[in-house]
A and B are shown apart, each in its own frame.
Chain A
């Protein structure tokens, strides 16, 4: 951990420049006239003139058009978003709330507040700007509701809360503009669903209100326009293209070390990564998981003969620690920071010279966003180096590089909104003022995520909010809504209102334990399941140090700093994203075209060449399956390239089928590229094994039983308001919620299988962790295109997956068997029958 320097002021001049980025080089152009004098002078005094897209935004505002600005990071998006409001408020001497800005990050809202101060102060604009987040003190909130600022900066959760108050109609009546920032990161998520519903309500309260969306470059701009539109139609929103940035200068690290067959830590290449850090000014080293962050950080310090200030940043570290690192980063006092996606979004830094991605990027859009962190300016190219951790990752890095060069993006299109989020919203609206179901249905179907929502689903959600919505109607006496004589609904009691406000939001955190050095500082948090797997005396890496586990007391994991640097327990998995379909397609294409292998390192070329001799290469449109004996077992390796989540689901389904076929499957392991199943007897007919019909009854049976669905249900139950996060004066632990929501799930599933929360759960599960949609299109694509190679031994391409065996965490239904297994092992140990 880098802790030699004092915390410094958070923002530097450099980052101000990034936020207000404008054409510094261009001479003041003549078509500047659409800037009022005061603003033109301010720009002029800096030798700046607005970017074309900033002008276009101004024009859109004057024509009163809903607008989506898509621009790469560093494109001056934020100024483009605020400039029209600053001008309009100044020109009309607007009173009260004029512009509402919503950001996915609290820190971003606070940062923008700070940065807006500069132009407001320097131009002496009569504009008041304030933030409102979970951190805003009570008295300030009250005052804000009485005397709102011209510009209010907030988050989706705080906005929902504001809209749940009875005075919301009055508060928002005069609203003229809503600015939604980083919407590419919100559309398609539950937070995005909630925000879309809130914006629909705002539009009803303030019909003249204009919507402005700011987004990074995405693969589906029209979906995003529709998402932003007041009528879910892309055509209602003007798209302004902020233009592409300069082509990034990006390459794959050409390592001189042996390229590993498996693993994700890229330790072999870290001395070379360190050398790159030494050459650059400031570097962000991005990794994919917190485990990688800890280990890469440790290994870099092992190389750090120059004692360079290298820091660590990930989502589990204490907030103060993260802020300190961010501040040092902004001040330019760091040479490098090892970071997870905790730095993907957020505060802008101009001073980053180099981005290094350790491990495969998993998606082209994600990579572009990350490399955009370097030279955060449109006019200068970003510099980035990719560091694959194993041979398959070389292929993936190559694919990502091609994708960036050809500017093809990936990412899923926004999905329909969740019914659990809708339930929370319906109750929040009932807390503000009585609603008429017909009106509310019209209002919410104007929001894109709910545009296709059927009336029956809506009515089921209202019934759930009202009395639980159970087929067995027993709770008429304990309704949460009161029906007025005119047919409208309102919250039945102040207790209902209070409970809703305590539970607002769609982020359900996993239960975590604080990590604290015994009689020392607080370091951060770990997931409870990780803590519970530790034995006293076990060592693990956290916050850049080796810690020895000393026990758990009152939700705190106590640790002691331990000597040495080799942990006994590998750091925990977390934040692992599956390979996108887009990159998977590209990887398959690379494999199938040996002519293009020249771009690959020699070791990888050799590996593929031997594969060609020993077996064959996967076809881009087909599926290669290899089977071979090894030890006492039969292995089947399928090169599906559909990402870890889809492979996990496939593994569960394949083993079920093989069991029925009498092949005695013993286990499987899945990576982003490949799945391997081992069994006592060899696989014969692979065509029937991979038939599409596996997505029928087996899938349903497995899904319903899997612990994954229970976890999903827990989130749905909390968001939907069936169970609470917390109670006045009593903080429940997430663990209690987990345990008890499992009991509810089992009972509900048996007695009311079509309940709206179970529908919401299945819907979420099918999209998320199981990736069933992707699996379905895979099975369809490979039908009639399966090549089965029976080999006498393992093929070169199969080696990496075989090396993964035993390293995998057990997930899904396998977990249900573990209690039995654990007990059997313990019994054997205790009774002396262990082998």
Chain B
């Protein structure tokens, strides 16, 4: 697992192939859109997805924190798929999460899926977090210098050998940085979609998550997707 290093708003950042952002200067690991308990949210509506998404997401999170032992963890919102999510969390997953929030300086940023989290979940809940000229929020705001956010689940595609290959990605134009969704069951929205592109300067860069590396790709070589799935209107698979 080799992260890609880049400069953003005067800070050195690492884009990890897992989808986490590592900020060594702030001793922080940042993840977006965990969507815990998305599986059980669908089950409640009749689609019995395997009930393992929360434990898988936690497993990946623990793996990242083992490779990058940061003191602070910032979750950029939509950490739970819905307001009932914390209540549906299984006992094992609840214990794992409690262990993590106790061990780290844990910040939950509120998202549109989880505007209010119960205190029992541990950590601190806030609408926005600022540090060293960086601002962390769930969804990109109108003016966004030094802004790090999630919400859009960006994905990008490139053409190779007559096929289009897609992957989750970080996307940045130097002023903004949008993180890929980290959750095990989270889909994606193509960065070429107006919902994302309208937030960015014309010449932006994506960092596509490969299997073990992260690949920096300029906008001009991206291939657009044919069908949009909009994370703001969560769809049934």
Residues of A within 8 A of B (CB): 467-468, 470, 472, 474-475, 477-478, 480, 495-496, 499, 513, 528-529, 531-533, 535, 552, 555, 569, 722-724, 727, 732-733, 735-737, 739-741, 743-744, 746-748, 750-752, 755, 809-810, 815-827, 830
What CA separation (Å) do A736 and B188 show in the bound complex? 10
Q: CA separation between A533 and B165, bound complex, in Å?
A: 9
**Measured between alpha carbons, how far is A605 from B208 in the docked complex, in Å?**
54
Q: How far is the CA of A183 from the CA of B129 in the complex (A)?
A: 66
Contact B223 A532 (CB under 8 A): yes
Q: Is the CB of A499 within 8 A of B51?
A: no
Contact (Cβ within 8 A) A735 B43: no
Beta-carbon contact of B226 and A552 below 8 Å: yes
- Residues of A within 8 Å of B188, CB to CB, are 739
B226 and A820 contact, CB distance less than 8 A: no
Q: Which residues of B contact A468 (CB under 8 A)?
A: 43, 48-51
A826 x B50 contact (CB < 8 A): no
Which residues on the A side are within 8 Å of B186 (C-beta)? 743
Q: Report yes or no: B187 in contact with A740, Cβ–Cβ below 8 A.
A: yes
Question: What separation, in Å, do the CA atoms of A741 and B213 have in the docked complex?
Answer: 23
Query: CB-defined interface of B207-223 with A at 8 Å, one 1/0 digit per residue?
Result: 01011110111100101
Contact B160 A532 (CB under 8 A): no
What is the distance, in angstroms, from A817's C-beta to the closest C-beta of chain B? 8
CB pair B52 A736 closer than 8 Å: no
Nearest CB in chain A: distance from B180 CB, A = 13
A818 to B164, CA, bound (A): 10
Select one of A467, A727, A733, A823 contacting B208, CB under 8 A. A823
From A528, A736, A746, A823, B158 is in contact (CB under 8 Å) with A823
**Given A468-B43, A532-B163, A819-B208, A743-B184 contact (CB < 8 Å):** yes
A468, B227: Cα distance in complex, Å? 29
Chain A residues contacting B159 (CB-CB under 8 Å) are 532-533, 535, 822
Q: What per-residue 1/0 map shows which CB atoms of B180-197 lie under 8 Å from chain A?
A: 000011111000000000
- Segment of B66-74, B143-151, B229-237 in the binding face: B229-237
- Residue B128 at the A interface, CB < 8 A? no
Using known A-B contacts A474-B40, A737-B237, determine if residue A751 contacts B50 with beta carbons closer than 8 Å: yes
Q: Majority SS of interface residues in chain B? A: loop
Cα A621 to Cα B49 in complex, Å, equals 49
Say which residue of B162, B184, B211 sits within 8 Å of A569 (CB atoms). Answer: B162
B→A interface (CB under 8 Å): 40, 43-44, 46-53, 55-56, 90, 157-165, 167, 184-188, 208, 210-213, 215-218, 221, 223-224, 226-227, 229, 235-237
| B40 CB contacts on chain A under 8 angstroms | 474-475
Known pairs A480-B46, A736-B227, A740-B187; A751 contacts B163 (CB<8 A): no
Contact B161 A748 (CB under 8 A): no
Q: From residue B39, how far is it (CB to closest CB) to chain A in Å?
A: 8
Q: Which residues from chain B contact A746 at a C-beta distance below 8 Å?
A: 184
B217 A823 Cβ-Cβ under 8 A: yes
| Contacting residue for A747 out of B48, B52, B157, B212, CB 8 A | B52
Q: A468-B48, A474-B51, A748-B52 are in contact. Are A739 and B164 (CB under 8 A)?
A: no
A-B contact pairs, 7 of them (CB 8 A): A470-B50, A474-B43, A480-B46, A529-B164, A533-B163, A752-B52, A826-B158
* A727 and B236 contacting across the interface, CB-CB below 8 Å: yes
The complex places the Cα of A827 from the Cα of B213 at a distance, in Å, of 13
| Chain B nearest CB, measured from A149 CB (Å) | 36
Would B47 and A722 count as touching, CB distance under 8 A? yes
* Residues A819 and B185 in contact in the complex (CB < 8 Å), given A478-B48, A736-B229: no
Bound-state Cα–Cα, A809 to B163, Å: 10
Q: Which of A743, A747, A822 contacts B160 (CB 8 A)?
A: A822
Which partner residue on chain B sits nearest A830 by CB separation? B218
Q: Is the CB–CB distance between A533 and B164 below 8 Å?
A: yes
* Bound Cα distance A81, B47 (Å): 43
Whether the pair B211, A816 counts as a contact (CB closer than 8 A) is yes
B46 touches A495 (CB 8 A): yes
Inter-chain contact A472/B226, CB cutoff 8 Å: no
Return the chain B residue nearest A820 by Cβ.
B210
Which chain B positions have C-beta within 8 A of A751? 50, 52, 55-56
Chain A proximity of B92: nearest CB distance (Å): 9
Q: How distant is A814 from chain B, measured CB to nearest CB, in Å?
A: 10
Q: A474-B43, A809-B162 are in contact. List 12 more A-B contacts (CB 8 A).
A: A468-B51, A470-B51, A480-B46, A529-B164, A723-B237, A735-B226, A740-B237, A743-B186, A816-B211, A819-B208, A826-B215, A827-B215
Q: Is the CB of A818 within 8 A of B161?
A: yes
Q: Are A750 and B56 in contact (CB under 8 A)?
A: yes
Query: In angstroms, how far is the closest chain A Cβ from the Cβ of B116?
Result: 24
Residue of B nearest to A748 (CB): B50
Taking a contact as CB atoms under 8 Å apart, the answer to whether A475 and B217 are in contact is no
A740/B185 contact (C-beta < 8 A), A722-B48, A735-B226, A750-B52 known: yes
Chain A proximity of B71: nearest CB distance (Å): 29
